[in-house]
Structure 1
Amino acid sequence: MVSKRLKATGKGGGTLVLDARSLSRQVDGDTGMRARIKAAELNGRRVALSALTPLEVRRSEQAGRRLAFLLARFDVRPVDKAVLHTAGRLLGTTGLDGHEYLVDAVVVATTALCLPPVRLVTSDCSHIPTPTAAARELPQQPEIGLITV
């Protein structure tokens, strides 16, 4: 579920997608991450993430309440057939092992299926770039810009 404010501002501004580390930074109150998300929202970008991402970031107590609050504000994208198909194509194209790269492939596939222009915020410089580069080769997929934090 997406907040009314994000639905109203998300028209045509594209999408900022958070991976687990960037969501974790937001939950933990990182000022740089907060500023990046605020700027995206002010510029009409939708802030989104894969439904798998909160499972990687799981928190308890006060941090858990902050995570729940953020999930109510952000566009939590389901892992549907389109995402699974795209993630499978990314793994197949790159030759990456599904056991090791499954979540990364799903996050990149989710990103590839978002409203362009799309930017993926990540700190993963080892796993994310390969499927992201492969996504650029898929027909009718937007180019994914990487923002490293």
Structure 2
Amino acid sequence: MARRKLSHEGTLVLDCEGLSKLVSDDEPAVALVSEARRRGMEVVISALTIIEAAHRRTDKARLAWILSGVRIVHIGDEEAKAASELLISTGLHGHKYAIDATVAEMALRQQRPVVMLTSDSDDMTKLCGNQVRVVAV
């Protein structure tokens, strides 16, 4: 399998699917995160991603271990307002896009270059534009 190249330093953002794949020990996702760390990238998730990714069958011990090694970015009033503005500016709306917008807004505030692992590359590309490199998982 060909390896995807990540930039030196910067930030790797995991959305729900990126986190879920990491928790399920998905080999390509684990390899990408390992490579990002090797290159000095910080791995971050939105606090809302934890809510979105956890379900009854989630391996809670593995999730806790993964979360101990990433920076969890909390979403407050200002971030929520900025995510709302991001939705408005892209013409998206509703609960379907709410968490995506908060993850995108958080990604846009991270140290560049920013790479995001996501299963929703179309919407994340709309929300982040060319400021975040979106990698489909």
Q: TM-score range by the shorter chain?
A: 0.7 to 0.9
Contact 1:16 1:45 survives alignment (8 Å)? yes
Match of 1:144 in 2: 132
| Of 20-29 and 52-61, the range deviating more from structure 2 | 52-61
Q: Would you say 1:92 and 2:80 are equivalent positions? A: no
| 1:46-78: CA deviation from partner (whole Å, max 9, x where unpaired) | 000100001111145771110011111100000
CA RMSD of aligned residues (A): 1.8
Q: TM-score, normalised by structure 1?
A: 0.80
**Structure 1 residues 115, 81: closer, same or farther in 2, change over 3 A?**
farther
Distance 1:103 1:20 in 2: 9
Q: Which residue of 2 aligns with 1:34?
A: 30
The secondary structure found in structure 1 opposite 2:115 is: strand
Tell me the equivalent position of 1:128. Answer: 124
TM-score (norm 2): 0.87
The corresponding residue for 2:106 is 110
The amino acid that maps onto 2:134 is: L
> 2:85 & 2:17 partners in 1: Cα distance?
24
Specify the SS of the correspondent of 1:111.
Answer: helix
Deviation string for 1:71-116 (max 9, x for gaps)? 1110000002342232122111012113221000001001001111
Q: After TM superposition, give the deviation of residue 127 of structure 1 in Å.
A: 2.6
> What do the CA deviations read for 1:22-69 (whole angstroms, capped 9, x no partner)?
110000010111110000001000000100001111145771110011
Structure 1 range deviating more: 55-64 or 107-116: 55-64
The 1-side partners of 2:118 and 2:99 are apart by: 13
Instruction: Report what 1:81 is aligned to.
Output: 77
- CA contact 2:121–2:135 (8 Å) conserved in 1: no
Q: Secondary structure at the match of 1:128?
A: helix
